[in-house]
Structure 1
Amino acid sequence: MRRWLGAVRGAIGFLTRLPAPHREGDWEAFRTTPAAFPIVGFVTGAIAALPLVAAEALSAPSVALGYLLAVYAVTGVHHVDGVADLGDALVVHGDVDRRREVLKDTTTGVGALLAVSITVVGLALGGLGLAGLPVLAAVAIAIAAEVGTKLGMAAMGCFGTASYEGMGRQFTAGAAPRSFVAPAVVGLPAVALTWPHPAAAIALCGAIGGIGLPWYWATRHLGGLSGDIFGAANEIGRVAGVHAGVIAWTLL
């Protein structure tokens, strides 16, 4: 139990801007306990979804803006740096070494600007879609998308391979494929948040699918994962999950 508490504290400290007491060993507990990812997903998803509760009292654009601001107030913007670095690496011409060099470069290029813009606008439009849904459905989809995003990050740590020393290897070296059982069990209840409607389940799966995009690209073009790819996956997975949930609720 002490190890799990330490893992959750470490996850909150790394994945969010929420105040949490820090103790020695929390980081080590977090990186070797992938189940902490979806636990924090439930917490951050619920807090970020609070502006959606006002959907019946405020205009949809205002609620969408509130959701966007809440997401970044809770999770911070440091993961967006991964989106920027991935955007620059996507547009550069060259081999694996050249792409890795660009990924670590602090210079902001046109690829970074475009990638961040699409991600932020995509989340805002997803928030606008949520604002048009029944309140309970909107909140459930937002939570499920966040849990799915964190579950996808846990999968990256359990099944992925790091391309070089760094933050990515901290996670991939701390978990094994069998370690994914625990985070899957922890995240599974999120699929029932809109039961019997499948929107929450589709939002969760959509988030995992969204994470698969940078994961696949990094494996193929970078030789493996890095901390920037984890950060980018966190942002892309959320956008994909929210949109998948909204589309599912609208069409099914």
Structure 2
Amino acid sequence: MVLTAVRGALGFLSRLPVGHSERAWEAFVGTPAAFPLAGYVVGGLMALPFLTAGLLPAPVVAAAYLGSVVLVTGVNHADGLADLGDAAVVHGDPAERRDAMRDTTVGVGAVLALGTVLLALALAALAVAGLRPLIAVALVLAAEVGAKLAMATLACIGRPSHDGFGSTVIAGNGPRRLVASLAVAVPAAVVAVPATAIAVITGPLIAVGLSRWADRQLGGVGGDVFGAANELTRAVALHASVAMWSLFGGVWSVPVGRWGVLAWTLS
């Protein structure tokens, strides 16, 4: 069941040729923990360019990362961010803002939202590319798991604004199911603490803030809010984790055997 849900999550969250069956989709929407579990796969693929950190110039590695984001995930979530940007600049009631989100015309709010987040992501990637390869990969992986954890959080605490993807994922889930999502994100958080921990926890924090904003401004959470949460968390988590690593260094942890953990301090 869990593997089927993860396949369904990958089918929705990435361009990988898996998880496009009805069975996988139904398992996915009923399993919020599938979001962060899929984040390990998506994040691992997107982190591959950082294995060349130190061998290639940092701008080249950062550009390769940005390309991998598009290649692996497509543009669905960026579209959600653009729609949310258009809704944010509308002066009106929630219904008018939702109408702006459905409008196919790209407004100034969409351009500003996409441009700001893309610039932030590029600058974060440039900073990550200056770190040692394994540390860079750990931060990118943690940020992607955090981004997917943001979506899982919305699925568990959100209130749907209208029929659509948001209502489908939120239906049948609740705050209790968030525990499993947090649990599966722990390995990504403890790889290089505190930097990876802050990257993962950024997801739920942004999700809570977006959920409250969406309740007031949109009448609840829709599919575009899920997409925007993913894009915002990725950029913010990378900046937060790089800042944390730069200020405090970290502890690199590797599981040993069944119960033990081998850890050593890095700076």
1:165 equivalent in alignment to 2:163: yes
* Structure 1 alignment gaps of length 5 or more: none
The answer as to whether partners of 1:203 and 1:244 remain within 8 angstroms in 2 is yes
1:138 equivalent in alignment to 2:136: yes
User: Kindly tell me: are residues 211 and 243 of structure 1, through their superposed partners in 2, closer, same or farther at Cα, counting changes over 3 Å?
Assistant: farther
**Which of 59, 65, 68 is the aligned partner of 2:66?**
68
The percent identity for this pair of structures is 51
The answer as to whether partners of 1:8 and 1:39 remain within 8 angstroms in 2 is yes
**Which of 83, 86, 90 is the aligned partner of 1:85?**
83
Distance (whole Å) between structure 1 residues aligned to residue 217 and residue 159 of structure 2: 13
Distance (whole Å) between structure 2 residues aligned to residue 113 and residue 81 of structure 1: 11
Shift of 1:34: 0.7
Q: Counterpart of 2:257?
A: none
Distance (whole Å) between structure 2 residues aligned to residue 155 and residue 207 of structure 1: 8
**Which of 118, 126, 146 is the aligned partner of 1:128?**
126
Query: Could you tell me which amino acid in structure 1 is paired with residue 13 of structure 2?
Result: L
User: Kindly tell me: are residues 79 and 21 of structure 1, through their superposed partners in 2, closer, same or farther at Cα, counting changes over 3 Å?
Assistant: closer
Distance (whole Å) between structure 1 residues aligned to residue 176 and residue 203 of structure 2: 21
1:115 equivalent in alignment to 2:113: yes
User: Kindly tell me: are residues 64 and 211 of structure 1, through their superposed partners in 2, closer, same or farther at Cα, counting changes over 3 Å?
Assistant: farther
Q: Counterpart of 2:195?
A: 199
Distance (whole Å) between structure 2 residues aligned to residue 105 and residue 24 of structure 1: 29
The answer as to whether partners of 1:10 and 1:30 remain within 8 angstroms in 2 is yes
Distance (whole Å) between structure 2 residues aligned to residue 121 and residue 214 of structure 1: 21
Query: Could you tell me which amino acid in structure 2 is paired with residue 222 of structure 1?
Result: L
Q: What pairs up with 1:32-47 in 2 under 5 angstroms?
A: 32-47=30-45
Shift of 1:216: 2.6
RMSD, matched Cα:
1.2
Distance (whole Å) between structure 2 residues aligned to residue 198 and residue 50 of structure 1: 22
Distance (whole Å) between structure 2 residues aligned to residue 110 and residue 199 of structure 1: 34
Distance (whole Å) between structure 1 residues aligned to residue 151 and residue 247 of structure 2: 28
User: Kindly tell me: are residues 128 and 233 of structure 1, through their superposed partners in 2, closer, same or farther at Cα, counting changes over 3 Å?
Assistant: same
Per-residue deviation, residues 40-76 of structure 1 (Å, max 9, x unmatched): 1111111100001111111111111111111121111
Q: What pairs up with 1:149-160 in 2 under 5 angstroms?
A: 149-160=147-158
More helix by share: 1
Q: Counterpart of 2:259?
A: none
The answer as to whether partners of 2:207 and 2:229 remain within 8 angstroms in 1 is yes
Per-residue deviation, residues 166-202 of structure 1 (Å, max 9, x unmatched): 11101110312111121111111111111xx411001
**Which of 52, 55, 58 is the aligned partner of 1:54?**
52
Q: What pairs up with 1:211-230 in 2 under 5 angstroms?
A: 211-230=207-226
Q: Counterpart of 1:189?
A: 187
Distance (whole Å) between structure 1 residues aligned to residue 58 and residue 223 of structure 2: 35
Distance (whole Å) between structure 1 residues aligned to residue 9 and residue 19 of structure 2: 11
Aligned residues between the structures: 248
Shift of 1:212: 3.6
Shift of 1:93: 0.9
The answer as to whether partners of 1:31 and 1:174 remain within 8 angstroms in 2 is no
Distance (whole Å) between structure 2 residues aligned to residue 251 and residue 39 of structure 1: 29
Distance (whole Å) between structure 1 residues aligned to residue 66 and residue 207 of structure 2: 19
Shift of 1:21: 5.1
Distance (whole Å) between structure 2 residues aligned to residue 12 and residue 107 of structure 1: 29
Query: Could you tell me which amino acid in structure 2 is paired with residue 193 of structure 1?
Result: V
1:20 equivalent in alignment to 2:25: no
* Structure 2 alignment gaps of length 5 or more: 249-267
